[in-house]
Amino acid sequence: MTAAFQASLLDYDDEPGLGELAGVVRRVPLSLGAWIDLRPGWVRGSDQVFERLRQKVPWYAERREMYDRVVDVPRLLCFYDEDAPLPDPLLVRAKAALDAYYREELGEPFRTAGLCLYRDGSDSVAWHGDRIGHGRTADTMVAIVSLGAPRSLLLRPRGGGKSVRCPLGHGDLIVMGGSCQRTWEHCVPKIKGVVGPRISVQFRPRGVR
């Protein structure tokens, strides 16, 4: 079922901006050297950012081979490679703020931005790790800004184990770090009922996909 995204009246009047990271980000250690950082409500005025991105980004659908069939990827996508200008000034500021906060620990800047539009609750992404590039063999980070309807990001140890549910709301930041991409997997499951659209913005270092 498709639902319009309900902009919150309080949020819409705010000029888009970013809250602090230092002193507010909460790190949650997982196992095997993986961790997540959580910063709820990082983006202020996120309704406007959501609308601007929804309208401005040249969203495209992808199809993928799965076993003996070609199926629709259940979400719309757009990838900004390292030299591509980001589609909104708020994303430029978000990337700069993430670089300032994480650069020493990460050892390199975030370079690319992958954007996904989940049109409703039947859009999703299956269990996976971002293991293309050095995420396969070395520690790295993937920073995700979530805009629009709340959805949960689930994480579980690769090969099985108890999963961790991270409900992501409008303007929240989650950073997956340490060994997370190679020792854990993550997904955004489908949900039933009337669910509005969500945009996920993923910042990654060079070559990590």
Ligand X SMILES: O=C(O)CCC(=O)C(=O)O
Applying CB under 6 A, the residues found at the interface with ligand X are 114, 116, 125, 130, 144, 153, 186, 188, 200, 202
Nearer to ligand X, 52 or 127 (CB): 127
Nearer to ligand X, 62 or 105 (CB): 62
Nearer to ligand X, 97 or 144 (CB): 144
At its nearest, how many Å lie between ligand X and the CB of residue 9?
A: 26
CA proximity to 110, closest of 130, 128, 125, 96:
96
Nearer to ligand X, 106 or 113 (CB): 113
At its nearest, how many Å lie between ligand X and the CB of residue 135?
A: 11
At its nearest, how many Å lie between ligand X and the CB of residue 188?
A: 5
In this chain, which residue has its C-beta nearest to ligand X? Answer: 200
At its nearest, how many Å lie between ligand X and the CB of residue 36?
A: 12
